[in-house]
A and B are shown apart, each in its own frame.
Chain A
């Protein structure tokens, strides 16, 4: 049973032959999760005795008997607390989210919940009182907002973890931890039971080790849900054979030298797989900066409306008596970053012109990018590594584009930086409903390396 967490799903399934083997797999992962959690602190509640079916006939299902974790932003009945805020620590959810229901039907095993930034706002993993540590390099932040779910997979305490992506919060921590993380097309996975602070950008993501297992999970999960009216049926699309490399972004001063060097290696691999390469000079850093502005203005308006119900009156500590209304807002219910986002949304609404212009710009961007990626894919960096030590606001520069448009994108590991002792990653973006084609490319890349 040593290093079982490095296997693929099909290898684990070959090991399971009787009832005892299932118990041993669960015991191994729970033990390892508790052991690793003491140092890294990626979870607040790991189940002591997780429930699982003991019928070996279920071994035929692709993802059965495989332990997984879920981000704290989903509501699950048997656990306590939501959204990782300290004031909602004792909140008891009264129902299960649909993703957990689907995974339960397929007999995979729920181990526990992951920590994250409060209400999934923030991209450093530091906006909570339950801070997570990076297993690769403890001086560098683990990335956010789904920091706990990336660390729990990379430390080997579960096989895959489910999270949500509003502004690159799945892709960023998964690259820093050397994993593959996907953000699916908007609405293909139901969001029922998820506290989303910006419902137009939000979509569900998955973090795990290898891309070949990712297709098995996506086949089960991507369905239409009656309870979520934004969800849509998944449509299959043909494979495309060209990929765009935006030269102006890869040659700019902002991107660091180490990830520039890995581009040549990637081009070599693409030729081996049989994918054509197209160099392009249209896509600028300026357009990415503009999308960042659009993202922050619209998302902050939506947080102002979505999260304002979490006040100290209806949720949280009920025994406090306030003398006036102003005292309610003085007492800190939210972390500072959440409050800043909400205040920005209120200012944005008072100056209505900008908000409406940004909404129109967003519609134009969707139309243009649909033509741009008509029969092609796009490759982009996830993060410039110079950002890791100097704190600037550009950290989500490359990631917000996929959220504003609603297209799928997947991040994967290509190398290792010696300067920071942290793995380097890239991301591939495709048109709508091309999630599985993108995953297949990454799967081929990962097979080629080994």
Chain B
């Protein structure tokens, strides 16, 4: 028996839920002059989407970029009307997402997160190509991982990540529409030889992911020296098929947008709330509470609330209290009601303590 080790890396595309598109003011189910790439029109950055992603990504360990710069990714397909796609280098890099699977600690290493523009949809019908421009320009968060997953972990991680996105209201992540897609890179290790990586694109469901990986494993075991290529999966044949050879893209800066400085408005640590409610994270909750080093950075809490000085008219209180004889909970409410008619009460608890003190004095010295 020979033993083979597989390494798997993923790219996850999650559609960000928002009312407007990333670079134009058109609604998300509609298209604009910019989306049709009519000449002379310039992009306008939608800042609310960027603030949303920063809030979402604050819960992971990693390094944020200081300024957001967009790049042009140049390639020519019919689904890009502009002739280039607007992407980013990274918004956060070198991230670690820690999770527990069956009480075993595991970590997913993520190379970078970056925001992207979606391409328009394509349908091939006989000799014609139909292009759906409504999809063009929708915001996408792409997360690229290091090759750190084994075959058993990958689906569990995808499920937890998806439900975390839904809980944060960051995206609806409906897989049937294509709001949550993933690409997969596989390579095989046999003693000293590492095969070249093979990319499978546009996987839509967990079942097709499982089958396509399994098919690709057998193919790699047969022949390690396969050249680099990108493939796709067809559900009818239960097979992956050849799409194209790996392409080299051109990147350069988009100069029609200025650099945007990141501003951190809130510093929140939401994790505790999430694990209590979300069901698929139940495995994590049990162990996470004991694990103190889950976050390296403990954000400093600001607790410098100054206590105001409270003024209470003592003589008025005494007058009210000395008229009554009994001592009940009802009697305090009665005192508050009487006092309220004449003056304001700022702090009720402080008032109650004061009233009880005077009541004790009354009982001792009637």
CA distance A230 to B43 in the complex (A): 10
Stretch from A124-132, A188-196, A210-218, A278-286 that touches the partner: A188-196
A182 within 8 A of B: no
Cβ of A323 to closest chain B Cβ, rounded Å: 12
Cβ of B229 to closest chain A Cβ, rounded Å: 20
Cβ of A145 to closest chain B Cβ, rounded Å: 17
Contact B44 A229 (CB under 8 A): yes
- Chain A residues with CB under 8 A of B72: 305
B31-42 interface bits toward A, Cβ cutoff 8 Å, 1 = contact, 0 = none: 001000111111
CA distance A95 to B40 in the complex (A): 10
Contact A301 B42 (CB under 8 A): no
A75 in contact with B42 given A95-B33, A304-B74, A349-B252 (CB within 8 Å): no
Find the residue from A95, A97, A309, A310 having the highest chain B CB count within 10 A. A309
Contact A229 B42 (CB under 8 A): yes
The chain A residue with its CB closest to the CB of B252 is: A301
A309 in contact with B252 given A94-B33, A94-B38 (CB within 8 Å): no
CA distance A364 to B109 in the complex (A): 38
CA distance A305 to B257 in the complex (A): 15
CA distance A349 to B251 in the complex (A): 9
- Chain B residues with CB under 8 A of A314: 81
B190 within 8 A of A: no
Cβ of B68 to closest chain A Cβ, rounded Å: 13
The chain B residue with its CB closest to the CB of A314 is: B81
Cβ of A61 to closest chain B Cβ, rounded Å: 27
Contact B83 A308 (CB under 8 A): yes
A51 within 8 A of B: no
Q: Which of A61-106 contact B (CB under 8 A)?
A: 74-75, 82-83, 94-95, 97
A345-362 interface bits toward B, Cβ cutoff 8 Å, 1 = contact, 0 = none: 000010000010000000
Task: Name B's interface SS.
Answer: loop
Category for how many chain B residues contact A: 20 to 34
A82 in contact with B39 given A301-B252, A305-B252, A309-B83 (CB within 8 Å): yes
A97 in contact with B40 given A304-B74, A305-B72, A308-B76 (CB within 8 Å): yes
A448 within 8 A of B: no
CA distance A313 to B79 in the complex (A): 13
Q: Which of B1-53 contact A (CB under 8 A)?
A: 33, 37-45
Contact residue among B42, B78, B81 (Cβ-Cβ distance under 8 Å from A191):
B42
The chain B residue with its CB closest to the CB of A301 is: B252
A222 within 8 A of B: no
Contact B44 A192 (CB under 8 A): no
B286 within 8 A of A: no
The chain A residue with its CB closest to the CB of B73 is: A305
Find the residue from B37, B39, B84, B257 having the highest chain A CB count within 10 A. B39
Contact B44 A305 (CB under 8 A): no
How many positions in chain A have a CB within 8 Å of any CB in the partner chain? 31
CA distance A349 to B39 in the complex (A): 24
B82 within 8 A of A: yes
CA distance A355 to B250 in the complex (A): 12
B327 within 8 A of A: no
Q: Which of B218-266 contact A (CB under 8 A)?
A: 250, 252, 255-258
Cβ of A351 to closest chain B Cβ, rounded Å: 12
Contact A349 B250 (CB under 8 A): yes
Cβ of B292 to closest chain A Cβ, rounded Å: 45
A444 within 8 A of B: no
CA distance A314 to B80 in the complex (A): 11
CA distance A1 to B311 in the complex (A): 88
B277-298 interface bits toward A, Cβ cutoff 8 Å, 1 = contact, 0 = none: 0000000000000000000000
- Chain B residues with CB under 8 A of A302: 255
A386-429 interface bits toward B, Cβ cutoff 8 Å, 1 = contact, 0 = none: 00000000000000000000000000000000000000000000
Contact residue among B33, B43, B82 (Cβ-Cβ distance under 8 Å from A309):
B82
A291-331 interface bits toward B, Cβ cutoff 8 Å, 1 = contact, 0 = none: 00000000001101110111001100000000000000000
The chain B residue with its CB closest to the CB of A313 is: B78
Contact B252 A230 (CB under 8 A): no
CA distance A230 to B255 in the complex (A): 8
CA distance A302 to B38 in the complex (A): 18
- Chain A residues with CB under 8 A of B257: 229
A199 in contact with B256 given A75-B39, A305-B74 (CB within 8 Å): yes
A227 within 8 A of B: yes
- Chain B residues with CB under 8 A of A349: 74, 250, 252
Contact residue among B42, B78, B83 (Cβ-Cβ distance under 8 Å from A192):
B42
Cβ of A334 to closest chain B Cβ, rounded Å: 14
CA distance A14 to B39 in the complex (A): 41
A44 within 8 A of B: no
Pairs across A and B, CB under 8 Å, 26 listed: A74-B40, A75-B39, A75-B40, A82-B39, A83-B39, A94-B33, A95-B33, A195-B40, A227-B42, A229-B42, A229-B256, A229-B257, A302-B255, A304-B74, A305-B72, A305-B74, A305-B83, A305-B84, A305-B252, A308-B74, A308-B84, A313-B78, A349-B74, A349-B250, A349-B252, A355-B252
Contacts A74-B40, A229-B44, A305-B252 known; list 18 others, CB within 8 Å. Answer: A75-B39, A75-B40, A82-B39, A97-B40, A195-B39, A199-B255, A227-B41, A227-B44, A230-B42, A230-B258, A301-B252, A304-B74, A305-B83, A305-B84, A308-B84, A309-B39, A309-B82, A313-B78
Which positions in B face A, CB cutoff 8 Å?
33, 37-45, 72, 74, 76, 78, 81-84, 250, 252, 255-258
